[in-house]
Structure 1
Amino acid sequence: MRLSYLRALPRPDFLSRLGRYEFALLGALCAVAAIVLVFGLMTEEVLEGDTGGFDRVILLALRNPADLSDPIGPAWLERTAGDITALGGVPVLTLTCAVVVGFLLILRRRAMALLVLVSAGGGTLLSFTLKMFFERARPDLVPHGVEVFTSSFPSSHAMMSAMIYLTLGALLTRVLPELRVRAYVMIVSLLLTMLIGISRVYLGVHWPTDVLAGWIVGSAWAMFCATVAWWMQRRRR
Structure 2
Amino acid sequence: MRDAWPDSVTPGGSTAPLGARGDLCGEPRAGTEHGAPSSALAEPLGSLPFVGSPWLVAAVLGAALAAYAAIAADVVEHGRLSALDEDLSAWVARSMPTAAEWIARVLSWVGGWIGVTIVVVVVLVWLLRRGEAALAALLVVVVLGGQLLNAVSKDGYDRPRPTAGSPIELPSSSSFPSGHAMTGIAVFGLLGLVFARELASARARAAAIVAGFALGVLVGASRVVLNVHFLTDVLGGAALGLAWLAVCLLLGILLGARRRR
TM-score calculated relative to the size of structure 2: 0.71
C-alpha distance in structure 2 between counterparts of 1:176 and 1:224, whole Å:
25
Aligned partner (choices 13, 30, 45) of residue 74 of structure 2: 45
- Secondary structure of the 1:49 match is coil
Match of 1:198 in 2: 221
8 A contact 1:158–1:193 mirrored in 2: yes
Cα deviation, 1:11-51, whole Å, max 9, x if unaligned, reads: xxx9xxxxxxxx93134213302311221122111111113
- The number of equivalent residue pairs is 208
- Evaluate the alpha carbon distance shift between residue 230 and residue 175 of structure 1 in structure 2; reply closer, same or farther with a 3 A threshold: farther
Q: Shift of residue 228 of structure 1?
A: 4.4
Cα deviation, 1:97-123, whole Å, max 9, x if unaligned, reads: 111111111221111111111111111
Match of 2:167 in 1: 145
C-alpha distance in structure 1 between counterparts of 2:199 and 2:252, whole Å:
14
Match of 1:76 in 2: 99
Q: Return 214-223 or 75-84, whichever deviates more.
A: 75-84
Aligned partner (choices 49, 54, 77) of residue 25 of structure 1: 54
8 A contact 2:100–2:225 mirrored in 1: no
How large is the RMSD of aligned CA atoms in angstroms? 2.5
- Secondary structure of the 1:153 match is coil
- Bigger radius of gyration: 1
Q: Name the structure, 1 or 2, with higher relative contact order (CA <8 Å, separation 6+).
A: 2
Cα deviation, 1:70-124, whole Å, max 9, x if unaligned, reads: x422x33222211111111011111111111111112211111111111111111
The one-letter code sitting in structure 2 at the alignment partner of 1:135 is D
Alignment of 1:57-68 (within 5 A): 57-63=87-93, 68=94
8 A contact 2:61–2:243 mirrored in 1: yes
- Secondary structure of the 1:144 match is coil
- Evaluate the alpha carbon distance shift between residue 228 and residue 103 of structure 1 in structure 2; reply closer, same or farther with a 3 A threshold: farther
- Secondary structure of the 1:62 match is helix
8 A contact 2:57–2:249 mirrored in 1: no
- Secondary structure of the 1:85 match is helix
Alignment of 1:83-122 (within 5 A): 83-122=106-145
C-alpha distance in structure 2 between counterparts of 1:189 and 1:228, whole Å:
21
- Structure 1 unpaired stretches of 5+: 1-13, 15-22
8 A contact 2:161–2:229 mirrored in 1: yes
- Evaluate the alpha carbon distance shift between residue 185 and residue 160 of structure 1 in structure 2; reply closer, same or farther with a 3 A threshold: same
Q: Shift of residue 130 of structure 1?
A: 0.7
**Aligned sequence identity (%):** 30
